[in-house]
Structure 1
Amino acid sequence: MAGIEFVPDEHGGVTVMRDGHPQSHVDVADPEHLVFEYVQHMAAAIDATFPGPDPIGVTHVGGAGLTLPRWVQATRPGSPQIVLEPDERLTAAVREELPLPRGHRIRVRPQLGRAGVAALKDASAHVVLVDAFDEGRVPADLQTVEFFAEVARVLRPDGFLAMNCPDEPGWRHVKDVVAGLLAVFGTFRGLTADGLRTSTNGEGVALVAMRDVMKGRRYGNTLLLASHRPIDADELRRQVGRWPFPSGVLAGAALTRRTNGGTPITDGDSRPSPVAPDPGTWRAR
């Protein structure tokens, strides 16, 4: 099918390509086999927050090969999942080439992410995962404070947002996106052993990235997490450490220091994520 390719590899999986960009890696026989590092980081964030195997409600903004919906179904059977994927042609091709497992509750809606999230009910999702690209860049309208406010409305009190946010060394774009997340999720009130507490130090926001990306050595993916409640950074580090890519976690004050100087992005000044460098010869690891 023009523009869509399914490229098998030596790992027993298939990489879904759209217009020359790798979208997903899928192993139908083993849905717990995750290849892309940021997808592993998303799985680690879910494991750190909702250990399973109880079902959880997940909304995916961006579908492609439906890699994470398959993983959620394998690790938390019966989880109700909504996938917002506007490319109906891609979804049809994926369903034909890479069938979904029996008994799944994965529902793909042919909607853009922003409109699809706006149509969801309040407190209807444990997790909202944003992994959406248009010509290799995260769409502008999925990185604004207005969008994050919609996600905050859709999330349950114990839920979290996870979004893939690629950037160049220096994190100029990531800093602004983090500032937007802090504006929406950075202050919360909750009961502790000492009574009602208000937090403004960014405990509800965290970042996960491979160490060379964390050190600013190259363009790469960062996974940004945001929650209505403090993120357990220690448990997140333990779960991230179970996967093979050397990765790090920034949370709380450490994250706010590293991303100091960012300005929240609004709908009026939104922009897509930076253009990725030419990958040359890519290879699924």
Structure 2
Amino acid sequence: MHPDPDHLDFEYMRHLAAAVRAWGPPPRMLALHVGAAACTLPRHLAHRYPDSGHIAVDVDTTLPELVRTWWDLPRAPRLRIRAQDGLDAVASRREHSLDLVVRDAFAGDETPTHLAGTDWWAAAARAIRPGGLVLANVGTRPGSRAAAADAAAARAALPVAVAIGEHAVLKGRRRGNVVLAAAHGPEVDIDALRRYAASAPLPTGVDPGWAG
């Protein structure tokens, strides 16, 4: 993790942050992060949006709790870290109780099946408020159908699902990460995402019809 919370090392993290900017979060945003890891994105968003609140869940909170001792992570209630399964965390939320849901959880190089299926996406769609946003980091590789199933589940729950990623990855030619930004309506400014993509360090595309 970089000492500066504004600095994001990984391209997909920059895509996630760009999607939040293109969405335009409410001043007192409440976000649930499924897959806490080092809490890089919660730390970044808490810095960028000082009145926001973040809940980071992981099946193993050893790493995020260690990161608290290494880096200046926001303290509760700005950032709460919980040991919890990602599907349980989303499904147990009250309806319309979150502004943002971020999924960045992996088993190896793919999202655990129960976090990429219709149950998870339906729970996430139910949990967000009107005008809310769900972001998912999707691992892809040529020949795998997991990403296609993930994208189909997203669109079954949320009619708008825009993909951001390197051109070769979006086209299934190379292994990598694609960020899905999904919402009930036109909350995401696609033109703003395209402007971001045009200035990204690597050749980046925005695809509102990406099917994995």
User: 1:103: Cα distance to partner?
Assistant: 8.1
User: 1:101: Cα distance to partner?
Assistant: 4.1
Structure 2 partner of 1:46: 20
Cα distance in 2 for residues equivalent to 1:137 and 1:36? 17
User: 1:125: Cα distance to partner?
Assistant: 1.3
Give the greater-gyration-radius structure (CA). Answer: 1
Contact 1:78 1:104 in 2 (8 A): no
Cα distance in 1 for residues equivalent to 2:50 and 2:79? 11
Cα distance in 2 for residues equivalent to 1:103 and 1:32? 20
1:16-37 superposed Cα distances (whole Å, 9 cap, x missing partner): xxxxxxxxxx213x10101111
Alignment of 1:55-204 (within 5 A): 55-101=28-74, 105-169=78-142, 172-186=145-159, 204=160
Cα distance in 1 for residues equivalent to 2:148 and 2:73? 37
Structure 1 partner of 2:185: 229
Structure 1 partner of 2:7: 33
Change in 2 beyond 3 A, CA 1:135/1:170: closer
Q: Which runs of 4+ in 1 moved over 6 A?
A: none
Amino acid aligned to 1:43: A
Amino acid aligned to 2:202: F
Change in 2 beyond 3 A, CA 1:116/1:46: same
Within the candidate set 163, 166, 186, 1:210 is matched to 166
SS at match of 2:100: strand
Cα distance in 2 for residues equivalent to 1:63 and 1:240? 26
Contact 1:45 1:239 in 2 (8 A): no
Amino acid aligned to 2:115: L
Unaligned runs of 5+ in 2: none
**Matched residues, number:** 211
- Identity across matched positions, percent: 37
Amino acid aligned to 2:195: R
Amino acid aligned to 1:208: I
User: 1:232: Cα distance to partner?
Assistant: 2.7
Alignment of 1:4-43 (within 5 A): 26-28=1-3, 30-43=4-17
Amino acid aligned to 2:156: A
Structure having the higher helix fraction is 2
Unaligned runs of 5+ in 1: 1-25, 187-203, 263-285
If the length of structure 2 is used for normalisation, what is the TM-score?
0.91
If the length of structure 1 is used for normalisation, what is the TM-score?
0.69
Cα distance in 2 for residues equivalent to 1:107 and 1:101? 9
Cα distance in 1 for residues equivalent to 2:110 and 2:145? 15
SS at match of 1:32: coil
